[in-house]
Structure 1
Amino acid sequence: MNPAPHRAGHVAVIGRPNVGKSTLVNALVGAKVSIVSNRPQTTRHRLLGIATFPHGQLLLVDTPGIHREQGKASSSAMHRWMNRAARGALEGVDAALLVIEAGRWDEEDALAYDALASAGVPVLLVVNQVDRIKDKATLLPFLGEVNAGREFAAVHPVSALKRKGLDALVDSLVALMPEQPPLYGEDEITDKSQRFLAGELVREQLMRQLGAELPYATTVEIESFVEDDTGKSGPLLRIGAVIWVERDGQKAIVIGKGGARLREIGTRAREQMERLFGCKVFLETWVRVRAGWSDDESALRTLGYHD
Protein backbone atom coordinates (compact mmCIF):
# COMPACT_ATOMS: atom_id res chain seq x y z
CA MET A 1 0.00 0.00 0.00
CA ASN A 2 1.47 3.32 -1.07
CA PRO A 3 1.65 6.00 1.62
CA ALA A 4 -0.50 9.09 1.17
CA PRO A 5 1.34 11.81 -0.76
CA HIS A 6 2.73 14.76 1.15
CA ARG A 7 0.85 18.02 0.58
CA ALA A 8 1.87 21.62 1.19
CA GLY A 9 0.41 25.00 0.35
CA HIS A 10 -0.68 28.48 1.40
CA VAL A 11 -3.80 29.29 3.40
CA ALA A 12 -5.12 32.82 3.91
CA VAL A 13 -6.66 33.46 7.34
CA ILE A 14 -9.30 36.17 6.91
CA GLY A 15 -11.99 37.68 9.12
CA ARG A 16 -13.17 40.83 10.76
CA PRO A 17 -11.03 42.29 13.55
CA ASN A 18 -10.75 40.49 16.87
CA VAL A 19 -12.25 37.07 16.03
CA GLY A 20 -9.13 35.14 17.04
CA LYS A 21 -7.26 34.77 13.74
CA SER A 22 -3.84 35.18 15.36
CA THR A 23 -4.74 32.84 18.22
CA LEU A 24 -5.76 30.24 15.65
CA VAL A 25 -2.53 30.63 13.68
CA ASN A 26 -0.43 30.31 16.84
CA ALA A 27 -2.38 27.20 17.90
CA LEU A 28 -1.88 25.51 14.52
CA VAL A 29 1.82 26.42 14.37
CA GLY A 30 2.37 25.33 17.96
CA ALA A 31 4.33 28.48 18.82
CA LYS A 32 3.69 32.18 19.21
CA VAL A 33 4.37 33.80 15.86
CA SER A 34 1.58 36.39 15.87
CA ILE A 35 0.85 38.79 18.71
CA VAL A 36 -2.49 38.69 20.50
CA SER A 37 -4.55 41.13 22.55
CA ASN A 38 -8.24 41.77 23.10
CA ARG A 39 -8.04 44.96 21.04
CA PRO A 40 -9.19 45.01 17.41
CA GLN A 41 -6.47 45.61 14.80
CA THR A 42 -3.69 44.19 16.97
CA THR A 43 -2.36 42.44 13.86
CA ARG A 44 -1.06 45.04 11.40
CA HIS A 45 1.31 43.07 9.19
CA ARG A 46 0.80 40.12 6.89
CA LEU A 47 2.66 37.27 8.58
CA LEU A 48 3.37 33.67 7.59
CA GLY A 49 2.95 30.98 10.23
CA ILE A 50 4.44 27.60 9.24
CA ALA A 51 2.51 24.61 10.59
CA THR A 52 4.23 21.29 9.88
CA PHE A 53 2.52 17.91 10.27
CA PRO A 54 3.53 14.37 9.25
CA HIS A 55 1.19 14.41 6.25
CA GLY A 56 1.49 18.03 5.17
CA GLN A 57 2.64 21.58 5.71
CA LEU A 58 0.31 24.58 5.97
CA LEU A 59 1.67 28.07 5.33
CA LEU A 60 -0.84 30.21 7.20
CA VAL A 61 -1.04 33.84 6.11
CA ASP A 62 -2.22 35.80 9.17
CA THR A 63 -3.64 39.18 8.24
CA PRO A 64 -5.09 42.35 9.73
CA GLY A 65 -8.87 42.15 10.00
CA ILE A 66 -10.89 43.45 7.07
CA HIS A 67 -12.97 46.37 8.29
CA ARG A 68 -15.34 48.96 6.92
CA GLU A 69 -14.15 52.54 6.76
CA GLN A 70 -16.16 54.56 9.23
CA GLY A 71 -15.10 58.09 10.01
CA LYS A 72 -11.75 59.82 9.97
CA ALA A 73 -9.80 57.29 12.08
CA SER A 74 -10.69 54.28 9.95
CA SER A 75 -9.82 56.10 6.71
CA SER A 76 -6.28 56.90 7.87
CA ALA A 77 -3.24 55.73 5.93
CA MET A 78 -2.69 53.03 8.58
CA HIS A 79 -6.17 51.56 8.16
CA ARG A 80 -6.00 51.73 4.37
CA TRP A 81 -2.67 49.90 4.55
CA MET A 82 -4.10 47.17 6.81
CA ASN A 83 -7.04 46.61 4.45
CA ARG A 84 -4.62 46.30 1.52
CA ALA A 85 -2.51 43.81 3.48
CA ALA A 86 -5.58 41.71 4.32
CA ARG A 87 -6.89 41.63 0.76
CA GLY A 88 -3.40 41.06 -0.69
CA ALA A 89 -3.12 37.88 1.39
CA LEU A 90 -5.48 36.16 -1.06
CA GLU A 91 -2.98 36.31 -3.91
CA GLY A 92 -1.52 32.90 -4.73
CA VAL A 93 -3.13 30.92 -1.90
CA ASP A 94 -4.53 27.40 -2.26
CA ALA A 95 -7.37 27.82 0.24
CA ALA A 96 -8.73 30.33 2.72
CA LEU A 97 -10.19 30.29 6.21
CA LEU A 98 -13.02 32.65 7.08
CA VAL A 99 -12.82 32.97 10.86
CA ILE A 100 -15.93 34.17 12.67
CA GLU A 101 -17.06 34.34 16.28
CA ALA A 102 -19.56 31.67 17.36
CA GLY A 103 -23.03 33.17 17.61
CA ARG A 104 -22.21 36.39 15.79
CA TRP A 105 -22.39 37.37 12.12
CA ASP A 106 -22.37 41.03 11.11
CA GLU A 107 -21.62 43.29 8.16
CA GLU A 108 -17.86 42.97 8.56
CA ASP A 109 -18.12 39.17 8.46
CA ALA A 110 -20.13 39.53 5.25
CA LEU A 111 -17.48 41.91 3.88
CA ALA A 112 -14.77 39.34 4.57
CA TYR A 113 -16.82 36.57 2.92
CA ASP A 114 -17.39 38.70 -0.18
CA ALA A 115 -13.63 39.27 -0.47
CA LEU A 116 -13.06 35.50 -0.31
CA ALA A 117 -15.90 34.53 -2.64
CA SER A 118 -14.28 36.41 -5.50
CA ALA A 119 -10.83 34.89 -4.90
CA GLY A 120 -11.58 31.59 -6.65
CA VAL A 121 -10.20 29.30 -3.92
CA PRO A 122 -11.92 26.86 -1.51
CA VAL A 123 -13.17 28.66 1.59
CA LEU A 124 -13.49 26.88 4.93
CA LEU A 125 -15.65 28.44 7.62
CA VAL A 126 -14.00 28.38 11.07
CA VAL A 127 -16.44 29.15 13.86
CA ASN A 128 -14.17 30.15 16.71
CA GLN A 129 -14.83 30.50 20.45
CA VAL A 130 -17.49 27.77 20.56
CA ASP A 131 -16.43 27.15 24.16
CA ARG A 132 -18.12 30.46 25.06
CA ILE A 133 -21.52 29.30 23.83
CA LYS A 134 -23.40 28.12 26.93
CA ASP A 135 -26.43 26.79 25.08
CA LYS A 136 -24.93 24.55 22.40
CA ALA A 137 -28.40 24.01 20.92
CA THR A 138 -28.20 27.52 19.47
CA LEU A 139 -25.10 26.68 17.45
CA LEU A 140 -26.81 24.57 14.76
CA PRO A 141 -29.42 27.21 13.79
CA PHE A 142 -26.66 29.83 13.74
CA LEU A 143 -24.57 27.72 11.36
CA GLY A 144 -27.63 27.26 9.16
CA GLU A 145 -28.11 31.03 8.94
CA VAL A 146 -24.46 31.64 8.05
CA ASN A 147 -24.47 28.90 5.40
CA ALA A 148 -27.66 30.13 3.73
CA GLY A 149 -26.75 31.45 0.27
CA ARG A 150 -23.02 30.99 0.85
CA GLU A 151 -20.65 28.27 -0.27
CA PHE A 152 -18.06 26.71 2.05
CA ALA A 153 -15.79 23.74 1.38
CA ALA A 154 -16.19 22.72 5.05
CA VAL A 155 -17.41 24.11 8.37
CA HIS A 156 -15.35 23.65 11.55
CA PRO A 157 -16.48 24.78 15.01
CA VAL A 158 -13.31 25.24 17.09
CA SER A 159 -11.84 26.82 20.17
CA ALA A 160 -8.43 28.13 19.12
CA LEU A 161 -7.63 29.20 22.67
CA LYS A 162 -8.32 25.73 24.09
CA ARG A 163 -7.08 23.96 20.92
CA LYS A 164 -10.34 22.07 20.41
CA GLY A 165 -11.45 20.91 16.97
CA LEU A 166 -8.12 21.70 15.32
CA ASP A 167 -7.21 18.16 14.19
CA ALA A 168 -10.24 17.93 11.89
CA LEU A 169 -9.53 21.42 10.57
CA VAL A 170 -5.93 20.47 9.74
CA ASP A 171 -7.05 17.32 7.90
CA SER A 172 -9.55 19.31 5.82
CA LEU A 173 -6.91 21.89 4.93
CA VAL A 174 -4.14 19.44 4.08
CA ALA A 175 -6.51 17.58 1.73
CA LEU A 176 -6.94 20.81 -0.27
CA MET A 177 -3.22 21.48 -0.67
CA PRO A 178 -1.25 20.48 -3.80
CA GLU A 179 0.96 17.40 -3.70
CA GLN A 180 4.51 18.61 -3.07
CA PRO A 181 7.30 18.29 -0.48
CA PRO A 182 7.55 20.70 2.47
CA LEU A 183 8.35 24.27 1.45
CA TYR A 184 10.10 25.09 4.75
CA GLY A 185 12.21 23.17 7.22
CA GLU A 186 10.54 21.25 10.03
CA ASP A 187 11.94 23.63 12.67
CA GLU A 188 10.86 26.84 10.90
CA ILE A 189 7.75 28.55 12.28
CA THR A 190 7.58 31.86 10.40
CA ASP A 191 9.10 33.80 7.52
CA LYS A 192 9.67 36.85 9.73
CA SER A 193 13.02 37.69 11.33
CA GLN A 194 13.71 37.75 15.06
CA ARG A 195 14.13 41.51 14.72
CA PHE A 196 10.58 41.86 13.37
CA LEU A 197 9.16 39.56 16.05
CA ALA A 198 10.91 41.55 18.78
CA GLY A 199 9.17 44.72 17.64
CA GLU A 200 5.82 42.95 17.53
CA LEU A 201 6.25 41.64 21.09
CA VAL A 202 6.86 45.17 22.38
CA ARG A 203 3.80 46.39 20.48
CA GLU A 204 1.74 43.54 21.92
CA GLN A 205 2.42 44.85 25.42
CA LEU A 206 1.47 48.37 24.33
CA MET A 207 -1.85 47.06 23.00
CA ARG A 208 -2.49 44.96 26.10
CA GLN A 209 -1.62 47.62 28.64
CA LEU A 210 -2.65 50.80 26.82
CA GLY A 211 -5.10 49.67 24.17
CA ALA A 212 -8.02 51.50 25.77
CA GLU A 213 -6.04 54.75 26.05
CA LEU A 214 -3.92 54.60 22.87
CA PRO A 215 -5.52 52.00 20.59
CA TYR A 216 -3.73 52.89 17.34
CA ALA A 217 -1.43 55.79 18.19
CA THR A 218 1.72 53.74 18.81
CA THR A 219 4.14 51.68 16.76
CA VAL A 220 7.54 50.14 17.46
CA GLU A 221 10.82 50.34 15.56
CA ILE A 222 13.77 48.10 16.46
CA GLU A 223 16.75 50.44 16.36
CA SER A 224 19.40 47.87 17.31
CA PHE A 225 19.53 44.07 17.40
CA VAL A 226 22.89 42.55 18.33
CA GLU A 227 23.74 38.93 19.14
CA ASP A 228 26.32 38.81 21.93
CA ASP A 229 28.04 35.46 22.46
CA THR A 230 30.17 36.69 25.36
CA GLY A 231 27.54 36.17 28.04
CA LYS A 232 28.48 33.87 30.92
CA SER A 233 25.20 31.95 30.75
CA GLY A 234 25.05 31.57 26.97
CA PRO A 235 24.01 33.74 24.01
CA LEU A 236 22.53 37.15 24.74
CA LEU A 237 20.44 39.38 22.49
CA ARG A 238 20.86 43.12 23.01
CA ILE A 239 17.80 44.87 21.62
CA GLY A 240 16.97 48.57 21.43
CA ALA A 241 13.31 49.42 20.71
CA VAL A 242 11.82 52.85 19.95
CA ILE A 243 8.13 53.32 20.73
CA TRP A 244 6.71 55.99 18.43
CA VAL A 245 3.70 58.08 19.43
CA GLU A 246 2.08 61.10 17.81
CA ARG A 247 1.84 63.60 20.69
CA ASP A 248 3.71 64.54 23.86
CA GLY A 249 0.68 63.63 25.97
CA GLN A 250 0.78 60.10 24.55
CA LYS A 251 4.47 59.86 25.40
CA ALA A 252 3.67 60.65 29.03
CA ILE A 253 1.01 57.92 29.10
CA VAL A 254 3.42 55.28 27.73
CA ILE A 255 6.17 56.23 30.19
CA GLY A 256 3.83 56.38 33.17
CA LYS A 257 4.47 57.81 36.62
CA GLY A 258 8.19 57.62 37.34
CA GLY A 259 8.67 55.45 34.26
CA ALA A 260 6.66 52.58 35.81
CA ARG A 261 4.49 51.82 32.78
CA LEU A 262 7.44 51.74 30.35
CA ARG A 263 9.37 49.42 32.69
CA GLU A 264 6.40 47.06 32.88
CA ILE A 265 6.02 47.04 29.08
CA GLY A 266 9.74 46.31 28.69
CA THR A 267 9.75 43.55 31.31
CA ARG A 268 6.75 41.73 29.83
CA ALA A 269 8.09 42.05 26.29
CA ARG A 270 11.53 40.79 27.33
CA GLU A 271 10.01 37.74 29.01
CA GLN A 272 8.09 36.90 25.82
CA MET A 273 11.24 37.35 23.71
CA GLU A 274 13.26 35.04 25.93
CA ARG A 275 10.53 32.41 25.70
CA LEU A 276 10.33 32.68 21.90
CA PHE A 277 14.05 33.07 21.11
CA GLY A 278 15.29 30.61 23.73
CA CYS A 279 18.04 32.86 25.12
CA LYS A 280 18.63 35.79 27.46
CA VAL A 281 17.56 39.22 26.22
CA PHE A 282 18.72 42.68 27.30
CA LEU A 283 16.01 45.10 26.15
CA GLU A 284 16.18 48.88 26.19
CA THR A 285 13.13 50.99 25.27
CA TRP A 286 12.68 54.66 24.42
CA VAL A 287 9.57 56.69 23.63
CA ARG A 288 9.73 59.32 20.88
CA VAL A 289 7.20 61.61 19.22
CA ARG A 290 6.55 61.74 15.47
CA ALA A 291 3.45 63.79 14.72
CA GLY A 292 0.97 62.28 12.28
CA TRP A 293 2.92 59.10 11.48
CA SER A 294 -0.22 56.91 11.25
CA ASP A 295 -1.71 59.03 8.46
CA ASP A 296 1.48 59.50 6.45
CA GLU A 297 2.21 56.85 3.79
CA SER A 298 5.92 57.72 3.60
CA ALA A 299 6.28 57.63 7.39
CA LEU A 300 4.61 54.22 7.46
CA ARG A 301 7.10 52.89 4.91
CA THR A 302 10.08 54.11 6.97
CA LEU A 303 8.57 52.39 10.02
CA GLY A 304 8.36 49.02 8.26
CA TYR A 305 4.84 49.05 6.78
CA HIS A 306 5.58 47.76 3.29
CA ASP A 307 2.98 46.48 0.81
Structure 2
Amino acid sequence: MRRIILSTESGADLPSDLAAKYDIQVVPMHIIMDGKDYLDGHLPVQDIYDYYDRTKKIPSTTATNAHEYTKFFANIRETFPDSIIVHIGYTSKASSSFQNAVIAAEDFEDIFLIDALNVTGGLGAIVLHAAQVLEKEPGIEPEHLIEQIESTVPKSRLSFIPGSLEFLKAGGRVSNMASLIGTLLKIKPCIELKDGKLVSTKKYRGKMSGATEKLFHDYLKEFNVDRHQLYFIYSIGLDERIKERMDELAEENGFEHVRWIQAGGMISTHSGPGGFGVAGLEK
Protein backbone atom coordinates (compact mmCIF):
# COMPACT_ATOMS: atom_id res chain seq x y z
CA MET A 1 0.00 0.00 0.00
CA ARG A 2 1.46 3.35 -1.04
CA ARG A 3 1.71 5.96 1.65
CA ILE A 4 -0.04 9.32 1.28
CA ILE A 5 2.02 12.32 2.38
CA LEU A 6 0.41 15.70 3.05
CA SER A 7 2.23 18.95 2.33
CA THR A 8 1.51 22.65 2.62
CA GLU A 9 3.21 26.05 2.91
CA SER A 10 4.59 27.82 5.95
CA GLY A 11 1.70 30.28 5.60
CA ALA A 12 -0.53 27.59 7.15
CA ASP A 13 1.18 28.31 10.49
CA LEU A 14 1.04 24.63 11.46
CA PRO A 15 2.37 24.06 14.98
CA SER A 16 5.61 22.09 14.67
CA ASP A 17 4.44 19.33 17.00
CA LEU A 18 1.38 18.62 14.85
CA ALA A 19 3.38 18.74 11.62
CA ALA A 20 5.77 16.18 13.14
CA LYS A 21 2.96 14.00 14.51
CA TYR A 22 1.34 13.62 11.08
CA ASP A 23 4.52 13.84 8.95
CA ILE A 24 3.12 16.92 7.22
CA GLN A 25 5.78 18.45 4.98
CA VAL A 26 6.01 22.23 5.02
CA VAL A 27 7.70 24.33 2.35
CA PRO A 28 8.81 27.83 3.41
CA MET A 29 7.61 31.06 1.87
CA HIS A 30 9.83 34.14 2.00
CA ILE A 31 10.29 37.36 3.95
CA ILE A 32 12.37 40.20 2.49
CA MET A 33 14.11 42.77 4.69
CA ASP A 34 16.52 45.30 3.18
CA GLY A 35 16.88 43.16 0.09
CA LYS A 36 17.82 40.05 2.07
CA ASP A 37 15.73 36.91 1.63
CA TYR A 38 14.75 34.96 4.76
CA LEU A 39 12.89 31.67 4.82
CA ASP A 40 9.63 31.79 6.73
CA GLY A 41 9.90 29.49 9.71
CA HIS A 42 13.66 29.99 9.95
CA LEU A 43 13.44 33.64 11.01
CA PRO A 44 12.17 34.53 14.51
CA VAL A 45 9.01 36.57 14.16
CA GLN A 46 10.29 39.03 16.74
CA ASP A 47 13.09 39.93 14.31
CA ILE A 48 10.45 41.26 11.90
CA TYR A 49 9.02 43.63 14.50
CA ASP A 50 12.46 44.61 15.75
CA TYR A 51 13.39 45.46 12.18
CA TYR A 52 10.32 47.68 11.87
CA ASP A 53 11.00 49.41 15.21
CA ARG A 54 14.56 50.07 14.10
CA THR A 55 13.96 51.18 10.49
CA LYS A 56 10.23 52.03 10.31
CA LYS A 57 10.15 49.80 7.23
CA ILE A 58 7.71 46.93 6.88
CA PRO A 59 9.21 43.77 5.33
CA SER A 60 7.70 42.31 2.18
CA THR A 61 6.90 38.69 1.40
CA THR A 62 7.26 36.47 -1.65
CA ALA A 63 5.87 33.10 -2.65
CA THR A 64 7.66 29.79 -2.85
CA ASN A 65 8.93 29.57 -6.43
CA ALA A 66 8.59 26.68 -8.88
CA HIS A 67 12.24 25.63 -8.50
CA GLU A 68 11.84 25.39 -4.73
CA TYR A 69 8.71 23.30 -5.18
CA THR A 70 10.52 20.95 -7.52
CA LYS A 71 13.22 20.42 -4.89
CA PHE A 72 10.60 20.15 -2.15
CA PHE A 73 8.58 17.45 -3.91
CA ALA A 74 11.76 15.57 -4.84
CA ASN A 75 12.88 15.58 -1.20
CA ILE A 76 9.52 14.16 -0.11
CA ARG A 77 9.88 11.35 -2.62
CA GLU A 78 13.41 10.66 -1.42
CA THR A 79 12.30 10.55 2.22
CA PHE A 80 9.08 8.64 1.50
CA PRO A 81 9.79 6.47 -1.56
CA ASP A 82 6.84 5.59 -3.78
CA SER A 83 4.62 8.01 -1.86
CA ILE A 84 1.54 9.80 -3.13
CA ILE A 85 1.73 13.53 -2.37
CA VAL A 86 -1.35 15.58 -1.58
CA HIS A 87 -0.42 19.26 -1.43
CA ILE A 88 -2.92 21.62 0.20
CA GLY A 89 -1.91 25.12 -0.80
CA TYR A 90 -2.15 28.72 0.38
CA THR A 91 -4.92 30.58 -1.42
CA SER A 92 -4.10 31.28 -5.06
CA LYS A 93 -6.04 34.57 -4.80
CA ALA A 94 -3.40 36.14 -2.54
CA SER A 95 -0.14 34.51 -3.66
CA SER A 96 1.46 32.92 -6.72
CA SER A 97 2.70 30.05 -4.54
CA PHE A 98 -0.04 27.62 -5.57
CA GLN A 99 0.49 28.28 -9.28
CA ASN A 100 4.21 27.67 -8.79
CA ALA A 101 3.36 24.33 -7.19
CA VAL A 102 1.24 23.48 -10.23
CA ILE A 103 4.19 24.22 -12.51
CA ALA A 104 6.58 22.08 -10.44
CA ALA A 105 4.13 19.19 -10.18
CA GLU A 106 4.25 18.70 -13.97
CA ASP A 107 7.60 16.96 -13.49
CA PHE A 108 6.19 14.36 -11.08
CA GLU A 109 3.64 11.60 -11.03
CA ASP A 110 1.05 11.02 -8.32
CA ILE A 111 0.97 14.55 -6.94
CA PHE A 112 -2.46 16.00 -6.21
CA LEU A 113 -2.84 19.75 -5.64
CA ILE A 114 -5.70 21.39 -3.77
CA ASP A 115 -6.15 25.16 -3.52
CA ALA A 116 -7.38 25.69 0.04
CA LEU A 117 -8.50 29.26 -0.74
CA ASN A 118 -7.41 30.10 2.79
CA VAL A 119 -4.45 31.17 4.91
CA THR A 120 -2.99 30.68 8.40
CA GLY A 121 -5.42 28.86 10.74
CA GLY A 122 -8.05 28.53 8.01
CA LEU A 123 -5.56 26.65 5.85
CA GLY A 124 -4.18 24.80 8.85
CA ALA A 125 -7.66 23.58 9.83
CA ILE A 126 -8.06 21.96 6.41
CA VAL A 127 -4.62 20.34 6.49
CA LEU A 128 -5.10 18.98 10.02
CA HIS A 129 -8.55 17.65 9.16
CA ALA A 130 -6.99 15.77 6.24
CA ALA A 131 -4.29 14.43 8.57
CA GLN A 132 -6.90 13.18 11.02
CA VAL A 133 -8.83 11.45 8.23
CA LEU A 134 -5.61 9.72 7.18
CA GLU A 135 -4.91 8.68 10.75
CA LYS A 136 -8.35 7.09 11.07
CA GLU A 137 -8.33 5.56 7.58
CA PRO A 138 -4.68 4.82 6.67
CA GLY A 139 -5.82 2.73 3.71
CA ILE A 140 -8.07 5.38 2.20
CA GLU A 141 -7.85 5.73 -1.57
CA PRO A 142 -6.22 9.02 -2.64
CA GLU A 143 -9.27 9.98 -4.70
CA HIS A 144 -11.54 9.58 -1.68
CA LEU A 145 -9.22 11.61 0.54
CA ILE A 146 -9.09 14.36 -2.06
CA GLU A 147 -12.88 14.40 -2.27
CA GLN A 148 -13.07 14.84 1.50
CA ILE A 149 -10.50 17.64 1.48
CA GLU A 150 -12.20 19.46 -1.39
CA SER A 151 -15.53 19.23 0.42
CA THR A 152 -13.86 20.70 3.52
CA VAL A 153 -12.37 23.73 1.73
CA PRO A 154 -15.62 25.77 1.63
CA LYS A 155 -16.35 24.85 5.26
CA SER A 156 -13.15 26.39 6.64
CA ARG A 157 -13.93 29.76 8.18
CA LEU A 158 -11.29 32.29 9.20
CA SER A 159 -11.82 35.74 10.69
CA PHE A 160 -9.11 37.92 12.15
CA ILE A 161 -8.29 41.39 13.39
CA PRO A 162 -4.82 42.57 12.34
CA GLY A 163 -2.63 44.09 14.98
CA SER A 164 -1.68 47.01 12.74
CA LEU A 165 -3.46 48.65 9.82
CA GLU A 166 -0.08 49.91 8.66
CA PHE A 167 1.22 46.35 8.28
CA LEU A 168 -2.04 45.26 6.67
CA LYS A 169 -1.90 48.08 4.14
CA ALA A 170 1.76 47.43 3.31
CA GLY A 171 0.97 43.77 2.66
CA GLY A 172 -1.39 44.77 -0.15
CA ARG A 173 -3.47 41.58 0.08
CA VAL A 174 -6.86 42.97 1.22
CA SER A 175 -8.99 43.57 -1.84
CA ASN A 176 -11.04 46.45 -0.39
CA MET A 177 -8.24 48.10 1.58
CA ALA A 178 -9.35 51.59 0.50
CA SER A 179 -12.46 51.21 2.63
CA LEU A 180 -10.32 50.96 5.76
CA ILE A 181 -9.04 54.52 5.69
CA GLY A 182 -9.64 55.88 9.16
CA THR A 183 -6.87 54.80 11.46
CA LEU A 184 -7.40 57.97 13.48
CA LEU A 185 -10.82 56.60 14.43
CA LYS A 186 -9.22 53.54 16.02
CA ILE A 187 -10.88 51.22 13.52
CA LYS A 188 -10.15 47.52 13.93
CA PRO A 189 -11.27 45.71 10.79
CA CYS A 190 -12.43 42.13 10.67
CA ILE A 191 -10.74 40.37 7.74
CA GLU A 192 -12.30 37.22 6.30
CA LEU A 193 -11.60 34.92 3.37
CA LYS A 194 -14.28 35.24 0.69
CA ASP A 195 -13.75 32.95 -2.30
CA GLY A 196 -10.07 32.88 -1.41
CA LYS A 197 -9.70 36.67 -1.18
CA LEU A 198 -8.98 38.62 1.98
CA VAL A 199 -11.85 41.05 2.46
CA SER A 200 -12.71 43.52 5.22
CA THR A 201 -16.25 42.63 6.30
CA LYS A 202 -16.83 44.45 9.59
CA LYS A 203 -15.26 47.28 11.54
CA TYR A 204 -14.87 47.41 15.28
CA ARG A 205 -13.99 50.43 17.37
CA GLY A 206 -12.43 50.61 20.79
CA LYS A 207 -9.89 48.51 22.60
CA MET A 208 -8.60 45.19 21.26
CA SER A 209 -10.09 43.36 24.24
CA GLY A 210 -13.60 44.44 23.29
CA ALA A 211 -13.02 43.98 19.56
CA THR A 212 -11.90 40.36 19.96
CA GLU A 213 -15.02 39.48 21.94
CA LYS A 214 -17.22 41.12 19.29
CA LEU A 215 -15.35 39.28 16.56
CA PHE A 216 -15.88 35.93 18.26
CA HIS A 217 -19.55 36.67 18.88
CA ASP A 218 -20.09 37.61 15.23
CA TYR A 219 -18.09 34.59 14.07
CA LEU A 220 -20.27 32.15 16.00
CA LYS A 221 -23.43 33.93 14.90
CA GLU A 222 -22.47 33.77 11.22
CA PHE A 223 -20.91 30.29 11.04
CA ASN A 224 -22.19 26.97 12.39
CA VAL A 225 -18.74 25.81 13.47
CA ASP A 226 -18.12 22.24 14.61
CA ARG A 227 -17.66 22.37 18.39
CA HIS A 228 -15.08 19.55 18.40
CA GLN A 229 -12.12 21.74 17.39
CA LEU A 230 -11.41 25.46 17.32
CA TYR A 231 -8.23 27.34 16.44
CA PHE A 232 -7.25 30.73 17.84
CA ILE A 233 -4.48 32.55 15.98
CA TYR A 234 -2.36 35.30 17.47
CA SER A 235 0.63 37.36 16.50
CA ILE A 236 3.30 38.25 19.05
CA GLY A 237 2.16 41.07 21.29
CA LEU A 238 -1.44 40.02 21.94
CA ASP A 239 -2.37 40.69 25.56
CA GLU A 240 -2.37 37.49 27.64
CA ARG A 241 -5.60 38.63 29.29
CA ILE A 242 -7.30 38.53 25.90
CA LYS A 243 -6.13 34.96 25.43
CA GLU A 244 -7.52 33.97 28.81
CA ARG A 245 -10.87 35.62 28.02
CA MET A 246 -11.13 33.93 24.63
CA ASP A 247 -10.46 30.54 26.25
CA GLU A 248 -13.31 31.25 28.65
CA LEU A 249 -15.66 32.18 25.81
CA ALA A 250 -14.72 29.09 23.82
CA GLU A 251 -15.52 26.88 26.81
CA GLU A 252 -18.80 28.72 27.44
CA ASN A 253 -19.78 28.08 23.83
CA GLY A 254 -19.19 24.36 24.05
CA PHE A 255 -15.88 23.87 22.23
CA GLU A 256 -14.21 20.62 23.24
CA HIS A 257 -10.69 21.38 22.01
CA VAL A 258 -9.02 24.76 21.49
CA ARG A 259 -5.56 25.15 19.97
CA TRP A 260 -3.67 28.44 19.96
CA ILE A 261 -1.54 28.99 16.88
CA GLN A 262 1.16 31.63 16.70
CA ALA A 263 1.25 33.44 13.37
CA GLY A 264 4.55 32.84 11.59
CA GLY A 265 6.64 35.33 9.70
CA MET A 266 4.53 35.37 6.52
CA ILE A 267 1.27 36.12 8.29
CA SER A 268 2.81 38.38 10.96
CA THR A 269 4.32 40.57 8.24
CA HIS A 270 0.79 41.26 6.97
CA SER A 271 -0.96 41.41 10.34
CA GLY A 272 1.47 43.27 12.57
CA PRO A 273 1.99 42.65 16.29
CA GLY A 274 -0.94 41.92 18.55
CA GLY A 275 -3.29 40.44 15.95
CA PHE A 276 -6.01 37.90 16.75
CA GLY A 277 -7.97 35.41 14.67
CA VAL A 278 -10.30 32.44 14.91
CA ALA A 279 -10.64 29.48 12.56
CA GLY A 280 -12.74 26.34 12.44
CA LEU A 281 -14.71 24.04 10.19
CA GLU A 282 -18.44 24.36 9.69
CA LYS A 283 -20.58 21.29 10.23
More helix, by proportion: 2
- TM-score, structure 1 normalization: 0.29
- Quick one: higher RCO (CA 8 Å, sep 6+), 1 or 2? 2
